[in-house]
Amino acid sequence: MFSVLPPRARRAALRAIAGALLAGAAVAAAADPGRKIAPGAAPARMRCTPPDGDPLEAGTPVPAAAHVSAFASYRRLGETAVAPWKPANDDVGRIGGWRAYAREAAGPAPAAAAPAAPVCNDAPLPLGARP
């Protein structure tokens, strides 16, 4: 139905439908005050002043400001034990230096494959190929 309308008329029609739906929700909410209002629907009556008084009056009580630090739940990491550098360097040199760590990271060397038995292939060679 809306696809035959030009874009401007289509937008106007959709706005009118949305307004009618919101107005219907507001009327329904006014008829039954205990009923929840649909999201996006305006309530039937809105209060002009908050229940605590007019915020523009100097004597209106102001709630106390509360601040919760972002670091309130911060937990420090535990201290890590650091070995002295001279014994650590001596251990690395005794093991074989960085190459030992590289071999360890690469994993075990693959086992050498047994040489394959010669294959007897009597098929003719392609033109121009040499045996």
Q: Of all helices (H) and strands (E), which one includes residue 10?
A: helix 7-31
pLDDT by residue (tens digit) across 18-56? 888 777 766 666 666 665 656 655 555 555 556 667 778
Among the ranges given (7-16, 26-35, 64-73, 94-103), the one the predictor scored with the smallest mean pLDDT: 26-35
Contacting residues for 81 by C-beta, under 8 A, at least 6 apart = none
Q: Look at residue 42 in the predicted model and tell me its pLDDT.
A: 56
Look at residue 116 and tell me if it is in a domain: no
Whether 38 and 25 have beta carbons less than 8 Å apart is answered as yes
Look at residue 16 and tell me if it is in a domain: yes
Look at residue 26 and tell me if it is in a domain: yes
Look at residue 6 and tell me if it is in a domain: yes
Q: Look at residue 118 in the predicted model and tell me its pLDDT.
A: 59
Look at residue 32 and tell me if it is in a domain: yes
Q: Which two structure tokens, joined as six digits, stand for 57?
A: 């009056």
In this prediction the pTM is 0.24
Look at residue 73 and tell me if it is in a domain: no
- Tell me which amino acid residue 96 is: G
- Residue 102's pLDDT band (cuts 50, 70, 90): confident
Domain span including residue 37:
1-46
pLDDT at 79 > cutoff 80? yes
Q: Look at residue 84 in the predicted model and tell me its pLDDT.
A: 92
Q: Structural domain tally of the chain?
A: 1
Look at residue 9 and tell me if it is in a domain: yes
Look at residue 120 and tell me if it is in a domain: no
